[in-house]
Amino acid sequence: MAVKIDKVSSEKIKVISIIASIMVVMIHSTNVNIGEFTNKSNISNTVLEIIEGYFTLGINRVAVPLFFMVSGYLFFKNIDKH
């Protein structure tokens, strides 16, 4: 028998999943080398590479473990505790 999740928890999981999905898209849309496309190595390209690296290689890397935590929570929510 499946255990129902209350509406508040369901909405929280939905919001977390949407945010994690956006983060995964950002990870996969990274640019390999910005300076390569402009044939210039100026300060603006370096700043763009730092910002891009911060998001794609930095804070967005929590998206995949976040999906695992949500799916683990949903899996163990349905297991009988007795």
Give 9's pLDDT tier (boundaries 50, 70, 90): confident
For residue 6, what pLDDT is reported?
86
Distance between CA atoms of residues 50 and 73, nearest Å = 35
Distance between CA atoms of residues 77 and 29, nearest Å = 34
Type of residue at 14 = K
Continuous segment of H or E residues that includes residue 48: helix 43-56
Distance between CA atoms of residues 52 and 34, nearest Å = 10
41-51 pLDDT, tens digit each:
566 667 777 88
Closest by CA position to 63, among listed 50, 75, 7, 71: 71
Average pLDDT of every residue of the chain = 80
Size (the chain), residues: 82
Mean pLDDT of 58-74: 89
